Amino acid sequence: MTDLAGTDVPPHAPGPGGRAGFPGVAAFARRAAPALLGYAAVRLLGVVVLALWDPAEEKGAARLLSQRWDSVWYASIAEHGYGRTVVAEDGGIHSDLAFFPLLPALERLGSALTPLTVNQAGLVISALASLAAAWGLFAIGDLLHGRRAGILLALLWAAVPVGIVQSMAYTESLFTALAAWSLYALLTGRWVWAGVLSAASGLTRPAGLAVGAAVAAAAGAAWLSGRDEAGTREAAGPRIPRGAVVGVLLAPLGWLAYVLWVAGETGEPLGYLEVQEGWGNGFDGGWAFARFIGEKLTGSAPPTGVGLLAGVALLAWVCVLCVRLRPSLPLPLLVYGGVLVLLAVCAAGYFGSKPRLLLPAFPLLIPAAVALARARWPAAALTVGAAAIGAAVYGAVWLTGSGPP
């Protein structure tokens, strides 16, 4: 049997009831091995190029990956707990309450159980989480479009221009791993697991809302379809599957729990939004970003403005391609990717961070993975290889320069 991409349907594809059966962890791992090995090779290339690019101590790879920018805040929370506030040069009040707690909690645990420092623990957690994320991407691609598409999806995610962030002591890898496996659980009918993993993603980044939205959308679609858990149509009308209610209720709990805790800490019901405002962040529907592009176009850097417009146009085109892949790109993936795009593009604040904010939006890569899966292997390998080299060089230039905000 073949799928829409013309590749073999995986043995764990869902049956008539919409629930997949695993062939066993060992067999599942063997099937994913090429994706994981290829992913590790691409990311290792990025780290090696970074290490060789500028061997100066202040710009050494280990320091850039674990002791700069946001990683410093996560390490501080891991070591001392919450309570750090810094007044920026522009008068902004930067509070560590802006950072969600799961990564620093894991860093603290890793440091307590091993000889590693919290910074080193952060790197190890990021490395393991990135492999888990790559496996989750492979599983989704394999499930929907076959093994080749799954392998290529994992490799393309490793080779995006800002892929070096996957190797940093940041939350992107951890969040993507939790999101990917939550979405895979949704696609295979495991509602409770989807809710649990969504809740964990909500303890990792504010974008956990995107995962919760995907769970809610899947439950709504199941209710509207009028099918029960056995896949048979309900004569009495639409009915939400048992377990879906639990999944939907669990999905936002991590995000909600932290936001409510921050409200208690600040004494303000909208305390988390006020903390973000202190960092200069907010959600204005993209107006600040549009002004930023306009200033570049009319100011001293028109090429930069043109490049930004081209990037936005490319992003919009990819979103259209994803929608056109329906029904082979299921609703939960569209909702998850769409919410992440909206959060990234429509947020005010650090405009240089937008590519990094889009890093977990892996459904945007599915059209390219499907197209490459249909191509001959030499063409696919050449494309991925070129992307990997470009990402390695870009990552080294980026981190030894301005770096991610």
pLDDT for 282 equals: 79
pLDDT at 374 over 90: yes
Note whether residue 13 is domain-resident.
Answer: no
Which tens digit of pLDDT belongs to each residue from 116-133?
A: 999 999 999 999 999 999
Domains: count for the chain = 1
Note whether residue 10 is domain-resident.
Answer: no
Report if pTM > 0.85.
Answer: yes
The single residue listed with the structure tokens 């695993």 is 22
Note whether residue 46 is domain-resident.
Answer: yes
pLDDT for 226 equals: 65
Which tens digit of pLDDT belongs to each residue from 132-171?
A: 999 999 999 999 999 999 999 999 999 999 999 999 999 9
Note whether residue 308 is domain-resident.
Answer: yes
Contacts of 113 (CB under 8 A, 6+ apart): none
Note whether residue 405 is domain-resident.
Answer: no
Ranges assigned E (strand) in 238-393: 282-283, 347-348
pLDDT for 56 equals: 65
How far is Cα 294 from Cα 306, in angstroms, rounded to an integer? 10
How far is Cα 341 from Cα 334, in angstroms, rounded to an integer? 10
Q: What does the pLDDT average to over 364-389?
A: 95
Phi-psi region of 237 (alpha: psi -120 to 50; beta: other; left: phi over 0): left
Which tens digit of pLDDT belongs to each residue from 167-183?
A: 999 999 999 999 999 99
- Selection from 274, 278, 251, 245 nearest residue 262 by Cα: 274
What is the percentage of the chain residues whose pLDDT exceeds 70? 89
Note whether residue 404 is domain-resident.
Answer: no
Note whether residue 9 is domain-resident.
Answer: no
Note whether residue 17 is domain-resident.
Answer: no
pLDDT at 234 over 50: no
Which tens digit of pLDDT belongs to each residue from 259-281?
A: 999 999 999 999 999 999 888 88
Residue 141: give the domain boundaries. Answer: 27-399
pLDDT at 323 over 70: yes
Contacts of 27 (CB under 8 A, 6+ apart): 11
The single residue listed with the structure tokens 């949704």 is 186
pLDDT at 3 over 60: no
Which tens digit of pLDDT belongs to each residue from 42-95?
A: 999 999 999 998 766 566 888 999 988 999 999 999 999 999 999 887 778 899
